[in-house]
Structures are given as C-alpha cells and as structure tokens.
Structure 1
Amino acid sequence: MLGDLIGEEQGQVTGQRVLAGEHGLPPTVETSFAATGTLLGVPVKDMGTYTARLRADGTLEGGGQGVLMSPTGAHATWKGQGVGTFTESGGNSFRGSIVYDSDSPEFAGLRGVAGVFEFEVDADGKTVGKLWAWK
C-alpha cells in the first residue's frame, strides 16, 4: 500500500554523458543532478547519478544511486530503479522504487522502508522529485 509522502525535492541536472552499449544493447545516458528538499521533514541536499537505456518499446529503463546530507551532517545513501518515458516538452518522467541506508538518527524512519518515487526532468534540466513510503 502506498503510504505517506515523506520527501520532496527540486534540483538541476549537472552533467550528462553517453556510454557505449554492451552485448548488443543500445547506449545508455548517464545523468547527474543536485537537488534540495526535505526527507522525513529534514532539510537535505541530494546528489545522484542515474543511467537510462532506451528500450525497444520506446520507454526508458533506469537505475541510480546517490547521497544526501542535512545541514547538521546527518546523511544517507540511496539506490533506485525505475521506468521512464519521454515527455512532449522534451524532458523525461520516471517512476520507480528506492531504498535508503543510514545510521543517522534523523533518518531512522528510513530503515526497513522501501519508497516509491516520481522524478521529472524538463527540457532545461530542472528536476522535481517526490517520494512516498511503501507500507
């Protein structure tokens, strides 16, 4: 069951590169971003990198990882995986799952929790993400 909204962020793509496909697969695009927002009510800076590969049906398959930190030094790492589509305006839109790892007390609520996310990137590289607890 989809739970409460536990995180939101806004950011910017900071870099991209194309990586050669292996074993007959198409190339993948690697994208890095930086964002600010809140997670479990704690202000955070989030930095991550994900790769996306175009699938035969025109959708995107992606996965990534990152690290976030609060102003007090609380930190967490994350790994996510999802599927995406291209938007008519030239961006892309992803939906997927994410898990966190942290020993910081501020993020104790992430332990044992899987999250589901929406992540949007517009044609100018602006990002918006939302995260719900999956209970």
Structure 2
Amino acid sequence: MLGDLIGEEKGRITGQRVLAGEHGLPPTVESSFAASGTLLGVRVRDLGTYTSRLRADGTLEGAGQGVLMGPGGAHASWRGHGVGTFTESGGNSFRGAIVYESDSPEFAELRGVAGVFEWETSADGDAEGKLWAWR
C-alpha cells in the first residue's frame, strides 16, 4: 500500500555525459546531481548518478544509485529504476521505485520498504523529487 510522503529534496544536475549504446540500444545519458532535503524528518544531502535511455516509444528508461548523508554520521545508499518523459519546457519527468540500505538508526524505517518517487528536472538543470513509502 502506498504510504505517507517520507522525503522531499531539491538540487541541481552537476554533470552529464553521453555513453555509447550497447547491444544495439541507443546511447544513454549519464547525469550526476547533488540535492538537499529531508528523509524521514532527517536533513540529508543526496549525491547520485543516473542513466537514461530513449526508448522506441519516445519514453525514457532510467536507473540510478546514490548516497545520502545526514547529521552525526547518518547515512544510506539507494538504487532506483523508473520511466520518464520529456516535458514541454525541455526537461524531463520520471516516476519509479527506489530501495535503500542503511545501518543508521535514523533510517531504520527504510528497511524492508520500497519507495515510490517523482523526479522532475528542468531544462536548465534544476531538479526536485518526492518519495512515498510503499509497504
């Protein structure tokens, strides 16, 4: 069941590069970002990288990974996968699922939970996301 909103963040794309496609697939775009926000009420800094690939139907397939750092050494890592679309303003919009790993007490509620996210990136590189618990 989709649960409560457990995280929000805003940030910026910090770098991008195009990677050659493999096995007949089109090239992928690798994007790195830095964002700040909250997760389970804890202030966090999120550093991540994701790749996106244009699919034949005009949508995007994306996958990524990253690390979260909070005060006092709180930390978590994440992996996500989603599907996206281009926006009329030249950015993109993704929806997907994310899972976390952490041994920090601040993030104990993430164990055994998948998250469902929305991630929006503008044409000039501003980004923001929201995360809901899925139990």
TM tier, shorter chain? Answer: over 0.9
**Aligned partner letter, 2:115:** G
Give every structure 1 segment of 4 or more consecutive aligned residues whose post-TM-superposition deviation is greater than 4 Å: none
Match of 1:90 in 2: 90
Q: CA-atom RMSD, angstroms?
A: 0.4
Aligned length: 135
**1:72 shift after superposition:** 1.4
Match of 1:4 in 2: 4
Match of 1:59 in 2: 59
Match of 2:115 in 1: 115
**Aligned partner letter, 1:33:** F
Aligned to 1:72, what secondary structure does the other structure show? helix
Q: Is there any run of 5+ residues in structure 1 with no aligned partner, and where?
A: none
TM-score by length of 2: 0.99
Match of 1:48 in 2: 48
Identity %, equivalent residues: 81
Cα displacement string for residues 44-90 of structure 1 (whole angstroms, at most 9, x for unaligned residues)? 00000000000000000010000010021100000000000000000
Match of 1:126 in 2: 126
1-side partners of 2:82 and 2:88: how far apart? 20
Match of 1:104 in 2: 104
**Aligned partner letter, 1:100:** Y
